[in-house]
A and B are shown apart, each in its own frame.
Chain A
Amino acid sequence: MELFLQQVFNGIMFGSTYAIVALGLTLVMGILNIPNFAHGHLYMLGGYITYFFMSNIGLGYWGALLLSVIVLGLIGAVMERIVYRPLSDGPHINAFIAAIGALLFLESLALVVWGPQGLRIANPHPQIYNVMGITVGLQRLIVIVGAAALIVLLHLFLKKTLMGTTIEAVAQNREGAMLNGINVNRVSAITFFISSATAAVAASFLSPIFMLSPAMGAILGMKAFIIVILGGMGSIPGAILGGYILGLIEALGGGYISAEYKDVFAFGALIVILSIKPTGIFGKREG
C-alpha cells in the first residue's frame, strides 16, 4: 500500500509538470495549427535560464524562476516571429523541418554554453515530511500545488479576460477572427509567449529535483505531444487530464512492471487509446 501511495504521489508530481507543458503546447497547436516540435527544447532552455540566474547572477530561487519565465516567453515570441510565421501558409511538413532546425539550434546552444554534463540547481526547499508512510519532499509538494495554481490561473485568463477570449476566438475560427479586426499575428506571438513561459515554470519546478541536461528536452517534448494527442488535439481539459494520466501510468508502470521501459508506457498508452479512439479522449471528428 505504501509503495502504491508513493508511486501515486510521484505520478501526480510528474503529471503536474506534464500537464502544464502539454497545456502550453496545446495552446500553440490549437491556435496556429503548428506542431511546435521544439517545445520540449524550450522547456530545457527554461531550466538552464533559471540555473543561470541562480548561479551566475546570484538570485534566489523564486526570483530566478520569475525572470526565467519572462525571458523564455520572449524567446518563444521571437521564435514564432522568425521561424513559424513565415511558414504559416506552407505544407505542414515544412513547419516540422523548421522545428527540427530550431530544436537542433536550442540543443546545441545549451551544449555550447553549459556543456554536456548534467547540472543541478540546489534544492531551495529540501524539507521532507512523512505522511501516511510515504515520503513527501516540500519541493515536490510545491510542484503539485504550483502546477494546479498555474492551471487555474490560465483557465481564468482564457475565460475571463479580453485577451484570453481573443485567443480562443482565433483558435476556433482564424478567418472569422481576422474579419472581426483581431490582429492574428499579435495573438500568435502572445500565445507563443504564454506557451513558452509555462514551459519555463515546469522546468524551473523540476530542476531542483532532477539534473538539467541538453538532451532532456527531446523526450519531454515528445511526451507533451503524446499528451496533446491523448487528450484530443486542441483540447485544454484533454491536455491537463492527459498529463496527469501519463504521469500516473509512468509512475505505476515504472514501479510495478519495469523501470527500463518506463518511457515505453507513455507511447504504448497513446497507441492503445488511438486504436480505440483515433482523435483522442476529448477529440472531435475532423472534417
Chain B
Amino acid sequence: MFIENVSQELAKILHLHLDKDHLKWMEGKIDGIIEEKSSKDLYLTYSLMASKINPIPLDKMPSGENEVIQYLETQNANLLQIGRVYLLIRVLEADENFFFNKVENIIQVSDTGELETFLKFLVLMPNSGNYRNVAVEALRTNIATIFDAISLNNPYPSMFFNDQQWNQMYLKAAFMERDLSLITDIEARANKDLVRIISDYAHERWAASRKVDPYFWRPVGRFLNDTLVEDMNRLFLSEDEKDHMAAALACSISENPKAKALLEKYPQIKNKLDQGLISWSKIN
C-alpha cells in the first residue's frame, strides 16, 4: 500500500524539526554505522536518540500529499518516533542482510514506548512482512497501548496476518473493549471462522447477562448461517437501537434467504436502511 521513498519522506520531516547540530550528529552516525557495519554503534546511536531528540508532536509537514505523511498524522507520530524509525530504515535499506538481526534484537529489548513505535510503523519498514512474528506476539499482551499500536488504525494486520491471526486480534480487541471501528479492513478480512467465533462469544456474553458491542457484528453479514440468523433475530428484539442497526446491516448484505426474510419482518428498520440512515459509522 505504501509508496517508495519512505526514508526520504522521514528525512524531510527530521530536517524541518531538528537543528543543524543534531542533524549532523544523526546523519554522521548513520553513515558511520553503514560504512563500518557496526552493530555496537547502531545500538549506541539508537539508545542515544532518546536523549538527542525530543518526543514532540510534528508541527511542520513537507508540502505535498502522500501516504507516508498521512499515515504519520493518523498515528500522531512524534519526532523521536520518526528519528528511531528513520535510523532503522536507513540501515536496513543499506544492508538488510547484515542489519536485519540487529534490528530484531533492538525490537526484542524494547520498552513499552519503543515497542509501541515499532508496531505502529512496522508497515514503513523495508520488507515489513518479515516482522510478522513481532506483530503477532504483541497480540498476546494485556498492555492496552501495545495492543492498540498493532491493532488500531494500522494496515499491517490486514496486509500480513493470516485468518487465524486476524481472528485472534479481532476477538482480543473485543475482549479488551477497544474501539473496533478503528480496525482497518474489517469487512475485507471477514471469514467464516471469525463469524463462528463472534457468535460463540456473543452467546457467552448473553449467558452471563452481559452486553455485546453492536459494532462487533460488522464482519458477519456475508457469512450468515442459521445460527447467525437466530443471533440477528435476537438483535432485532433487543432494546438497543444500535443492535437493530447492526442486524439490519448484516442481513442486508447476506445472500441467505432466511436473513433477507428476517429483515423484511422489520419494515421500519428496513426503510431507514433503504434511505441510507443506517451505517456502521452511526453505530460507533
User: Is the A/B pair a real complex?
Assistant: no
